[in-house]
Amino acid sequence: MSYTTDIKEEISKSIGSKSEMIAELSGYIRNNGHSTINGFQLTTENPLICARIEKHIETLYEIKVTKEIKDSLNFSKKDLLVLTLDNKKDFILEDIGYQDKSGNHLTRPPQYIVGANEEIRAYLKGVFLSSGSINDPKTSRYHMEILIEESEEAVFVQKLLNLFDLNVKILTRDKGYMLYIKEADKISDFLKIIKANNAVLYFENQRIYRNKKNQANRLNNCEQANMDKVVATATSQLDDITVIEDNLGTSLLDDKTREALEYRKKYPEASLKELSEIISIETGIPITKSGLNHRFRKIKELATRFKNLN
């Protein structure tokens, strides 16, 4: 079962007031329903969503909705559940803000449908149940989207979502519009808005895990980069030492610099900091990393002079 299905089944079990049920029905029907010869139909593959919409309609309007099971045409293994509004169809569609008294489709629902914060949340819940999806944060990038056919509805839903500072963007698609969010914290906020509390906990747990994993990878990469730098520095210093020794030039170095040369040969894999600590302990004379680096600069200068002569 997908993460999106988990979310939709969780919010399909929630309970709301009458005004919230109307707002949720409005959001769902405006983005799912279509007129047919037999009446007005709603379709879904999810039995819980189907049962919820059916129950809302029966509770609010005291009618029995016609339900059919059809074969899905999109190669899905799931059956298509079809709810048909025939009895009280026009009254219901007018009440949930789908059409006006003359039967004309409304490009946006009346203000009373989404007049308060809880009604807005319920409307967004209905829209998400109809055509929303969220990637599983465990297996993919952070991404939430809602597909909407009508441009006016897409802009309206975008404005509702952005009332909660979700930074929702909109793109044109072949068959409508896609509203989307790619920021993890905003997706988490949306889940809180529609009261998918279990989905929020899962999302945040996976988000923490991914952040820690990414941090560990960055630290490992940083550590590897530092190791590569240590190896490169030591290799360069050993190359300089080889040039000097091949040209019998160690006598041209002062005692402290010759000491650094010998310790580098003895500890070829040590970093400058490690080498300075080793010399300080073994000789009893403290030397800093900076001081040791100064001695190796003298070695490099002498090696360069020999290279130029050759």
Sequence ranges of the domains in the chain: 3-195, 216-309
The residue length of the chain stands at: 310
Main-chain phi, psi angles of 201, to 5 degrees: -60, -45
Instruction: Give CA–CA dist 283/192, Å, rounded.
Output: 65
Mean pLDDT, the chain cut into blocks of 10 residues (310 residues total): 91 91 95 82 90 92 86 67 86 91 90 93 96 88 93 95 95 92 93 93 86 77 82 90 90 91 90 90 91 92 87
What local confidence, expressed as pLDDT, does residue 56 receive?
93
CA distance 192 to 180: 17
Written out in words, the top-level CATH class of the domain with range 3-195 is alpha beta
The DSSP code sequence of the chain is --HHHHHHHHHTT----HHHHHHHHHHHHHTT-EEETTEEEEEES-HHHHHHHHHHHHHHH--PPEEEEE--SSS-SSPEEEEEE-TTHHHHHHHTTSB-TTSPBPSS--GGGG-SHHHHHHHHHHHHHHHEEE--TTTS---EEEEES-HHHHHHHHHHHHTTT---EEEEETTEEEEEE--HHHHHHHHHHTT-HHHHHHHHHHHHHHHHHHHHHHHHHHHHHHHHHHHHHHHHHHHHHHHHHHTT-GGGS-HHHHHHHHHHHHSTT--HHHHHHHHHHHHSS---HHHHHHHHHHHHHHHHHHHHH-
Distance CA 260, CA 302 (A): 14
Confidence (pTM):
0.69
- Burial (CB count <10 Å: 0-12, 13-18, 19+), residue 172: exposed
Residue 188's pLDDT is what?
94
What's the confidence (pLDDT) of residue 77? 61
How high does pLDDT run on average in the chain? 89
User: Given this model, what pLDDT does residue 49 score?
Assistant: 92
Query: Are the CB atoms for 294 and 257 separated by under 8 Å?
Result: no
Own/partner pairs for 32-38, CB < 8 Å, 24+ apart? Answer: 32/130, 32/131, 33/85, 33/98, 36/84, 38/84, 38/86
